[in-house]
Amino acid sequence: MKEKAYIHDNEYYYSIIRKNIKKFRLERNLTQQDLADMTEMSREYICDIENEKRNKHLTIAVLGRISEALKIDIAEFFKVN
């Protein structure tokens, strides 16, 4: 039987991204409302993104808006800490 070329699924990467968004937001002493205002998104949407239990997926465009607001290279969201 052939071995898989990958070992992680989408949820694995979404989990890393969620944790990193929250980490970088908190490092900057921003509330979810602050980030929502900076990205022109709702606080509820930011909450959904950060909360793993809500299983909210986000697009690359949304991730780009968040990275610009936090002044972070988008690749930082994919790093496992």
DSSP state of 74: G
What is the pTM (predicted TM-score) of this model?
0.87
Question: What are the mean pLDDT values of the chain's consecutive 10-residue runs (81 residues total)?
Answer: 75 93 98 98 95 82 97 96 79
Q: What angle do CA 7, 8, 11 make, to 5 degrees?
A: 160
User: How far is it, in rounded angstroms, from Cα 75 to Cα 32?
Assistant: 21
Residue-range domains of the chain with CATH: 27-78 (1.10.260.40)
CA gap 45, 22 in Å, rounded: 13
- Alpha helices for the chain (secondary structure H): 10-27, 32-39, 43-50, 60-70
